Amino acid sequence: MSQNEVEKSVPTLADVASLANVSTATVSRCLNSPDRVGKDTRERVMKAVNELGYAPNFGAQALAARQTNTIGAVIPTMENAVFARGLQAFQEELGRHGKTLLLASSAYDAELEEQQIRALVARGADALLLIGYDREPEIYRFLEKRGVPTLIAWSFNPAETRTAVGFDNRAAMRALARDVIAQGHRNIACITAPTRSNDRARGRVEGIRDAKVEAGQDPAEVMIVETPYGIGTGEEAFRQVMAQAPDTTAIMCVNDVLAVGALRAARALGLRVPEDISVTGFDDIEIAALADPELTTVHVPHREMGRRAAQRLIEVLQDNVMGQSKELPTEIRMRQSLGPARKA
Amino acid sequence: MSQNEVEKSVPTLADVASLANVSTATVSRCLNSPDRVGKDTRERVMKAVNELGYAPNFGAQALAARQTNTIGAVIPTMENAVFARGLQAFQEELGRHGKTLLLASSAYDAELEEQQIRALVARGADALLLIGYDREPEIYRFLEKRGVPTLIAWSFNPAETRTAVGFDNRAAMRALARDVIAQGHRNIACITAPTRSNDRARGRVEGIRDAKVEAGQDPAEVMIVETPYGIGTGEEAFRQVMAQAPDTTAIMCVNDVLAVGALRAARALGLRVPEDISVTGFDDIEIAALADPELTTVHVPHREMGRRAAQRLIEVLQDNVMGQSKELPTEIRMRQSLGPARKA
DNA sequence: TTGTACGCGTTATCAA
DNA sequence: TTGATAACGCGTACAA
């Protein structure tokens, strides 16, 4: 009838206490603030702890201490190398400070993201890392009511009040677009990921328009193609651009993956890059430098961003005050895929 | 003096109970098994819940229910696309069943992995996903003592008793090596990640030797170069092979990243692939098909593995019994980087 | 420095 | 169907 259950002799504080002949309070102190305990008793307690293989019960600890030492993060997807990279650094930094990562992904879906945020809070996340600002105000209200400190990453927008550790997507793309225009390009197209609920992508697109305006050109000239994230979708988008606007001499993509797709499509169509058409990316993930031709792109310090984000969150948990927003610099990586505009 | 703290009016069960004029027990029942509660009282309670914005306290729930609905995973690193991909699917499947992912990474370091395992258990992981079998027996004993069901992924070895959802690394590489040998290659080198504490890498290397033996050749002829994971290290390893064993006609790498490094080094050295030398990878990540020449490799169903692993773990949490190990099939992706051996 | 004792918010048992 | 009430295991004032 009954399962032959293994005897799970999970020891409690009380077990340790009786073995060491002290009170549970002393054991607790030994573990949490060892300096407030006499040296000999501490040794006795630690011995008992090891002997029993004691480890605190998580629920009890969380209940009494009112924190879980757990920090949540909701990212669009781990399959995007930029998030994997940033999150790896984020997690490493958390670990260094005794915090654990609670992770969920939204698949770039706003509604799913909200669910995940609520799930992580329900699971006791002490603080949260979210990607980008764009989000229903209701969610932010929820987070505030629950008292969960929240940090934005991957975006930095001086116009927003919320604390962020990220970079100015719009300014970064604007800088790149200036270089593109400086190469004589005027008929520029942009392949972007969906901009709805995504201020990063939207900012990047705006950056291109900014540069057009600066150059005295009509920002409406920029052809915009929205498509989901992926190499295949990047290829399709490229074909669409060339079909509808064959005069295009430069295609700026809001990320490297779409750009690699564009590169492939160009080759398939017999177009030389950059002689016939220029292509740029964004992020500077590994394939950018491996691509043929090597991709001109915007380098983003993903690891540093992840690390700093973790630090901010750890700070706010300690000091109960969230630091200032931090803008990280991006750099243009000028490589082969951007060249002078071909003569019309 | 005092912080101007926001009034965090986090409501408890008792608050809901008094507002709805019922006992806390009834509220708890309402939330956990609504069918055991009268319809009218249930409505009254639910109204109070919504009105107060009540959400259960996680610590208290975990303490009383003795489970956290959280599943832990320790992977080498998220920056490796294979793990990112598998874990993404793992997390999605967990989410579908109301479970949350607690994630840590070991950086391929056995000692760090042990720390992380203990940390996740301390954070209340109900079950654990680990990569590969290789691990100090002490860790497995710890997990058993704590009663934390553990599943192995990325490996499947019929000789091991522990439950796993993965593939037979050795057999997969053996199959690929057979094809390499069938192309006339005899002087084969292998670039591998460190094999210590890594049965996956070790199995893949062994697979090459197996095929050599099958072909009546001396397995000791295979030159082995161990190097950390990375494109740059793959390049270096390639140079080392060509310097020490210029007769080599095929280089089999235990993963695609090392193989891409080998491809780059070959090009830099003026060697044509596959005319002068063949290169193979393992994993079939995105860059394998993007590489030039396209990389012959072993396709691994990472997403399915992640999904199935999640299912297994969810099952064991429900039924208290871990299912059988599951071997997933791999497939050889024959592409351009493998060709006939050059004439000596 | 150490111990006592209570509170943390739920779940679950047992009566009613 | 509902309500008291006892765990659950730990942290922490407060007292000694």
Query: pLDDT tens across A246-295, in order?
Result: 999 999 999 999 999 999 999 999 999 999 999 999 999 999 999 999 99
In a domain, A33, yes or no: yes
The whole-number average pLDDT for the span A155-161 is: 95
Q: Is the predicted pLDDT of residue A7 greater than 50, yes or no?
A: no
**B119 found inside a domain:** yes
Amino acid at residue number A147: G
Final residue belonging to a domain, choices A14, A31, A56: A56
Residues of B within 8 A of A122 (CB-CB) are 55-56, 58
Query: Does any CB of chain A come closer than 8 Å to the CB of residue B14?
Result: no
Report whether pLDDT(A167) > 50: yes
Average pLDDT over residues B56-83: 95
Percent residues over pLDDT 70 in chain B: 97
Give residues with Cβ within 8 angstroms of A277, minimum separation 6: A242, A248, A249, A250, A251, A266, A271, A342
The reply to whether residue B147 touches residue A62, judged by beta carbons under 8 angstroms, is: no
CATH of the domain at A219: 3.40.50.2300
Share of chain B above pLDDT 90, in %: 89
The predicted pLDDT at position B344 comes to 64
Q: What is the pLDDT of residue B1?
A: 31
d(CA A278, CA A339): 6
B176 in the same domain as B265: yes
User: Are residues A127 and A80 both part of a single domain?
Assistant: yes
- The verdict on A8 and A157 lying in the same domain is no
pTM of the predicted protein model: 0.94
**CB count in 10 Å sphere of residue A36:** 10
Same structural domain, B292 and B312:
no
Q: Is the pLDDT of residue A3 over 80?
A: no
Asked whether residue B339 is assigned to any structural domain, the reply reads no
Question: Do both A44 and A17 map to the same domain?
Answer: yes
Domain that residue B48 falls in: 3-56
Which pLDDT does position B260 carry in this prediction? 97
| Residues A200 and A132 occupy one common structural domain | no
Whichever domain contains A35, its CATH number is 1.10.260.40
Chain B within 8 Å of A41 (Cβ-Cβ)? no
Residue B100 lies in a domain: yes
Examine the domain organization and report whether A98 and A162 are in the same domain: yes
Whole-angstrom CA distances from A267 to A245, A276, A342, B139, B322 are 18, 11, 17, 52, 51
109-148 in chain A: CB under 8 A from chain B: 116, 119-124, 142, 144-147
pLDDT at residue A344, as a whole number: 64
Strand C CB-contacts below 7 Å: A 21-26, 29, 36-38, 40-42, 60, 63-64; B 10, 12-14, 24-25, 28, 31-32, 54-57, 59-61, 63-65
Q: What is the residue-averaged pLDDT of chain A?
A: 94
Clarify whether residues A111 and A23 are in a common domain: no
Q: Which residues of B touch A60 (CB under 8 A)?
A: 59, 63
> Does residue B61 belong to any structural domain of this protein?
no
pLDDT tens profile B268-317 = 999 999 999 999 999 999 999 999 999 999 999 999 999 999 999 999 99
Q: In B, which residues are within 8 Å of A101 by CB distance? A: 102-104
| pLDDT for residue A342 | 85
Q: Which of B34, B56, B78 is the last residue of a domain?
A: B56
Give chain B positions within 8 Å (CB) of A55: 118, 121-122, 146
Residues A7 and A111 in one domain: no
> Which residue in A58, A145, A286 is closest to B124 by CB distance?
A58
Per DSSP, A197 falls in state T
Q: 3-state SS of chain A: helix, strand, coil percent to 5? A: 50, 15, 40
| Residues A209, A151 share a domain | no
Domain presence at residue A25:
yes
pLDDT digits (tens, 9 = 90+) for A210-220: 999 999 999 99
B30 in a structural domain: yes
pLDDT, residue A101, reads 97
At residue B145, the pLDDT reads: 86
Nearest nucleotide to A63 by CA–C1' distance? C8
What DSSP state is assigned to residue B296? B
Both A163 and A306 in a single domain? Answer: yes
A197 has a chain B CB within 8 A of its CB: no
User: Per-residue confidence at B320, pLDDT binned at 50, 70, 90?
Assistant: confident
CB A265 within 8 A of CB A235: yes
Q: Which residues of chain A are within 8 Å of residue B144 when distances are taken between CB atoms?
A: 6
Task: Note whether A177 and A278 are same-domain residues.
Answer: yes
Instruction: Calculate mean pLDDT across residues A77-90.
Output: 97
- The number of folded domains in chain B is 3
Cβ separation B60–A63 shorter than 8 A: yes
Among candidate residues A82, A149, A138, A80, the one with its CA nearest the CA of residue A110:
A138
Q: Does B1 touch chain A (CB under 8 A)?
A: no
Residue B254 has pLDDT above 70, yes or no: yes
B107-161 per-position pLDDT tens digit? 999 999 999 999 999 999 999 999 999 999 999 999 998 889 999 999 999 999 9
Indicate the average pLDDT of chain B.
94
Output the six-digit token pair for A133.
């600002």
Chosen for mutation from B2, B6, B12, B58 (greatest number of chain A CBs closer than 10 Å) is B58
Q: Is residue B62 part of a domain?
A: no
Tell which A residues from 65 to 84 touch B, by Cβ distance under 8 Å: 65-66, 68-70, 77-79, 81, 84
Judged against a pLDDT cut of 80, whether residue A298 lies above it is answered with yes
Reported as a pLDDT band with limits 50, 70 and 90, residue A6 is very low
- The chain A residue lying nearest B60, using CA atoms, is A63
